[in-house]
Structure 1
Amino acid sequence: MNRNWHGAVLRRLLLLVSACLLVGLVTGEYAWALVIGLAGHLGWTLSQLLRLHKWLQEHKPDEPPPDGYGMWGEVFDSIYHLQRRDQKVRGRLQAVIDRVQESTAALKDAVIMLDSQGNLDWWNIAAETLLGLKTPQDSGQPITNLVRDPRFKEYFESNNFHDPLDLPSPLTDRRRLQIQITRYGNHEHLLLVRDVTRLYQLEQMRKDFVANVSHELRTPLTVIAGYLETMLDNVEAVNPRWTRALKQMQEQGGRMQNLLNDLLLLAKLEATDYPSDNHPVDIELMLQSIKSDAQALSGEQKHQITLQVEPQLKLKGSEAELRSAFSNLVFNAVKYTPGQGQIHIRWWGDASGAHLSVQDTGPGIEAKHLPRLTERFYRVDSSRASSTGGTGLGLAIVKHVLLRHRALLDIKSTQGQGSTFTCNFPPMQVVRPRP
């Protein structure tokens, strides 16, 4: 309708009234002339309205509105123009959708759209290859019914999608997949799946190489260490010039053995996802033992080591692995905290799970080093690490032990004020005392 629509309507009404008055002037019945004229106009308007109602109920998507004239002709013309404009918009949107579908169909990675309940909305061709989804029978099915791995269900229900999940393909164990979930829109999910079989095979080759080399080096090192110990036990029969050299050889041999032990432990931790001996562990008793060992390690430095424990709060897991992780954190605090420094060990539980923190008053760590502390052989200060006899694998072992117990390591440090290492265990790993 144009801008003069209201004026045109008023003019038509004035013409109708004028015509009725003229008829009334001729017949002498002004009232009846106006009534009949207005009733006719009302009947015509109702008939046009019924035509519009019928068209709205029965018209096909591309069927134009009925023809008309006068005011209703302009109404029908306006509807027709709106219809054509909507068709163009729909055409552009459909073209965009077609291009998106064509581009995602060309991807080697699977793209899956899920609703807020985790049900399948849409997926590309790669999803059928990697996950075995079938069109259209799987549409609307929960994704956890089609990917039945318990780790995926736990990952999906945790709503913590910061890190991706690696697991075997539902179709074959020989294919390894990496799954990443992103939240978008109205609590909907976008699931991306990549085939990382090649990377997984390379990683397995690296692990096997490290494990095999460590195992093969262990025997000759044991022989060498045994002979060095025998020679040092009979130092009177050895030329005095060799005494210092033998002691250094024994010291370096011990460091090599510690390194191999840590490498073999890491290989063992990486071999499986969760510990086999998953039973309640008395953390209070374990921490008291670790504190005693840390006090002995401190020796003449006389660190002030305190322990705060929530009694009867236990963890499900491997006692040997947990002891290795916790002792690594406590012994590191002793090694890197100056003499007379304070070390506080705390074990407590709350609604989010159970937590172990080791807080020291050491020199602290620069912020740029914190993201890489749990990498293998990463050292903040190589000279300081060498002086303490570290292998550079302690925090890597801690990280893997915590991952096997569904836990995370949080590190906070300020230079000149000390560091705090906190292990956060989820509620499913916690064994609370019965009331």
Structure 2
Amino acid sequence: MNHDWRGVVIRRLLLLVAACLLVGLISGEYAWALVAGLAGYLGWTLWQLLRLQRWLKHHQPDEPPPFAHGLWGEVFDAIYHLQRRDQRARGRLQAVIDRAQESTAALRDAVVMLDADGNLEWWNRAAETMLGLKTPQDSGQPVINLVRHPRFKEYLEQTQHVDPLELPSPINDRLRLQFQLTHYGNGEHLMLVRDITRVHQLEQMRKDFVANVSHELRTPLTVIAGYLETLLDNVEDVNPRWLRPLQQMQQQGARMQTLLNDLLLLAKLEATDYPSDNQPVAVDELLQTIKADAQALSAARQHRISLDAAADVQLKGSEAELRSAFSNLIFNAVKYTPDGGDVRIRWWADAQGAHLTVQDSGIGIEAHHLPRVTERFYRVDSSRASHTGGTGLGLAIVKHVLLRHRGRLDISSVLGQGSTFTCHFPLSQVVREDLQPS
């Protein structure tokens, strides 16, 4: 209420009191005149309130307010204008929502909105085709009841969803889908689902080709290596001048054999999502044997290799695969660390899971190489790789082994000061001996 209407109300009340006093002067009943006048004013005010309540409860969107004089007329008109302004704002907002839903419905990718508990709130038409969702009966249902896959449940329960998840469609095994979750609002999730069947098929063709070629090359390489070994054992009978060429041929043949073995191992790792021999692995004992091999590899280079491994922390998985991954990291640290350098290995567990750190004081890696060092055949320096006999597949093998054990690899490095490779494993993969029932 502004100051003008405040003055009007005060004047009207004064006039009412004056009129009541005048009636009281004529009748001689001042008290009853005041009571009657104020009761009448109160009744009129209550009547206006009842009119307002009925209008607010029963009026249609475009129905004007009840007619009234003075202050109540202003109140009715103000409320009516506020309602019209709110309706226009809601109309604009609804138009934006409708356009967003129309554009989202036209997408070829599935879009699904989940609440904080993972229940379905809204989805577009593509989600019905890819995931088999049905409107409206699936609304409010937990998404894990419709996408029944253990890996999806694990993915949904993660706090971070940096990498997407690839799974077959729940309604068609021939379709390969990629799931990506994004957090928004108060714990809600936006799930994007893409059909990557074609990409998956091309990737599978590449894997099959590499695996088949690698397998077929093993036999001729074995034959060649065998004859080279025979010739080297009898090189004096052939021609001593052939000693150096034969040795170089044998060395390159061994490199090719190592490359084929790594390619076949990668093909095997990519064939399944989880190791079949999923048993608790005593990582501390495994690291002890790898450390001994690393000291043998160091030999005269005299690296200082230290190991700090928690004996009560085991890891569920394949011992052979973990040995391959951990030895790759530790042997790389030895290879790329100058003579007399330090290599520190640590295995421990905390509230987030289990961790393996391999830290060296070697040559380091430039920052722009770090995102790509786990790619196949990616080499920071090709001359360095040929000098150390690497195939460019070691870190790719590490990455795939960690993925199969639900782990991830973090790399930090400073050029000229060394590198740190850290493997993180979730609590679901950790077995603590001190927590086992006696």
TM-score (norm 2): 0.95
The answer (yes or no) to whether the contact 2:111–2:126 under 8 Å persists in 1 is yes
The AA in structure 2 aligned to 1:202 is L
Question: Who is 1:74 aligned against?
Answer: 74
Q: CA deviation at 1:315?
A: 1.4
Question: Who is 1:102 aligned against?
Answer: 102
- Rate the CA distance shift 1:24–1:182 in 2: closer, same or farther, 3 A: same
Matched, 1:143 2:143: yes
**Range with greater deviation from structure 2 (25-34 or 350-359):** 25-34
Matches within 5 A, 1:10-159: 10-159=10-159
Matched, 1:298 2:282: no
Q: CA deviation at 1:367?
A: 1.5
**Range with greater deviation from structure 2 (366-375 or 49-58):** 49-58
C-alpha distance in 1 between matches for 2:179 and 2:152: 9
Question: Who is 2:418 aligned against?
Answer: 418
**1:231-288 superposed Cα distances (whole Å, 9 cap, x missing partner):** 1111012223322111111111111111111011001100100000111222222212
Give the CA RMSD over aligned residues. 1.7
Q: CA deviation at 1:61?
A: 4.6
C-alpha distance in 2 between matches for 1:85 and 1:431: 62
Q: For residue 241 of structure 1, give the secondary structure of its aligned residue in structure 2.
A: helix
- Rate the CA distance shift 1:314–1:410 in 2: closer, same or farther, 3 A: same
**Range with greater deviation from structure 2 (330-339 or 65-74):** 65-74
Q: Percentage identity across aligned positions?
A: 76
**1:202-238 superposed Cα distances (whole Å, 9 cap, x missing partner):** 1111111111111122221111111111111110122
Question: Who is 1:162 aligned against?
Answer: 162
The AA in structure 2 aligned to 1:307 is L
Matches within 5 A, 1:6-405: 6-405=6-405
**Range with greater deviation from structure 2 (380-389 or 346-355):** 346-355
C-alpha distance in 2 between matches for 1:399 and 1:163: 13
C-alpha distance in 1 between matches for 2:371 and 2:27: 100
The AA in structure 2 aligned to 1:190 is L
The AA in structure 1 aligned to 2:427 is P
The AA in structure 2 aligned to 1:308 is D
**Range with greater deviation from structure 2 (343-352 or 113-122):** 343-352
Q: CA deviation at 1:27?
A: 4.4
TM-score (norm 1): 0.96
Q: CA deviation at 1:327?
A: 0.8
Q: For residue 356 of structure 2, give the secondary structure of its aligned residue in structure 1.
A: strand
Q: CA deviation at 1:99?
A: 0.7
**Range with greater deviation from structure 2 (373-382 or 409-418):** 409-418
Q: For residue 186 of structure 2, give the secondary structure of its aligned residue in structure 1.
A: coil
Gap regions ≥5 residues in structure 2: none
The answer (yes or no) to whether the contact 2:372–2:378 under 8 Å persists in 1 is yes
**1:299-343 superposed Cα distances (whole Å, 9 cap, x missing partner):** 211212222221242211111111111111111111111111121
C-alpha distance in 1 between matches for 2:43 and 2:316: 83
C-alpha distance in 1 between matches for 2:205 and 2:350: 41
Q: For residue 286 of structure 2, give the secondary structure of its aligned residue in structure 1.
A: helix
C-alpha distance in 1 between matches for 2:362 and 2:77: 82
C-alpha distance in 2 between matches for 1:280 and 1:423: 17
Matched, 1:5 2:14: no
